[in-house]
Amino acid sequence: MFKLYGTEVSSRLLLGTAGYASPDLLRQAVEASGAEIVTVSLRRESARAKTGQGFWGLIEELGRKVLPNTAGCRTAKEAITTAQMARELFGTNWIKLEVIANDDTLQPEVFGLVEAAAELNADGFDVLPYTTEDLSVAERLVAAGCDVLMPWGSPIARPRGLRTRPRFRPCAPIFPTTPLIVDAGLGAPSHAAEAMEMGYDAVLLNTAIAKAGDPVKMARGFARAVEGGRLAFEAGIVEPRDMASPSTPVVGTPFFKIDNVS
């Protein structure tokens, strides 16, 4: 159990809802994952007209908490306007804030991101910013009022896992009271487990499940990996060593000589 803006969440797996072969497959995957929070793109679904209306009905039927996002926005002004529209549509102050720098990597545009985060936080939003693993950007987002950070693992839809592991490790100890969610780039359950073992609070993913051969089984796999990784972090993982350390030491162990008995 952890908290996002005062809301207790049991599942540490958050799911995107794009790219599924059918609405029924999306429903099954969400249910199999146990995810309590799903993200939706206001722009994408609004553009699909009648199909979008059916999508909203499906999300309501699932009974999950909706996290609208500002996917596709390239400026702070554009993201702010989209967030305000999402609040009116969904009746929630939660917003996954995305300001994109370029189309090739979908890397966050960190200057516009911080600008938009400051304005939206001042306007009463609960901002979950999609950002890089750069610690200086994280500090600016926290200073702008963000109580959650969502660094990317790899570029969106390029499932390579944690691309820069040494830069990810310091985040949890430096921001011990800020929920950290790895967002984007996780392609296998082992990637999710690795993030959780580092002390991250949750992961958010879409493509790795939606485009899997069997999205329902993959959703279950990620759910178990996230749980296992978190349990390992809480238990305390044994640090690696350069030298062997016998599990049954012989130093100080008595040895008994048995003479041959004829």
DSSP characters for 15-51? Answer: EE--S-S-HHHHHHHHHHHT-SEEEEEHHHHHTTTHH
Could you tell me if 149 and 180 are in contact, meaning their C-beta atoms sit under 8 angstroms apart? Answer: yes
Angle between helices 23-33 and 215-235 (to 10 degrees): 20
Distance CA 207, CA 155 (A): 11
Distance CA 145, CA 84 (A): 17
Pull the structure tokens for residue 262: 């004829």
Residue 96 is among the residues annotated as catalytic for this protein: yes
Could you tell me if 38 and 30 are in contact, meaning their C-beta atoms sit under 8 angstroms apart? Answer: yes
Ligand-binding annotation for 185, yes or no, is: yes
Q: Which of 3, 96, 211, 257 is catalytic?
A: 96
First-to-last C-alpha distance (Å) of the chain: 68
Return the amino acid letter for 83.
A
Binding-site residues for 1-deoxy-D-xylulose 5-phosphate, please?
Answer: 184-185, 206-207
Instruction: Please list the active-site residues.
Output: 96
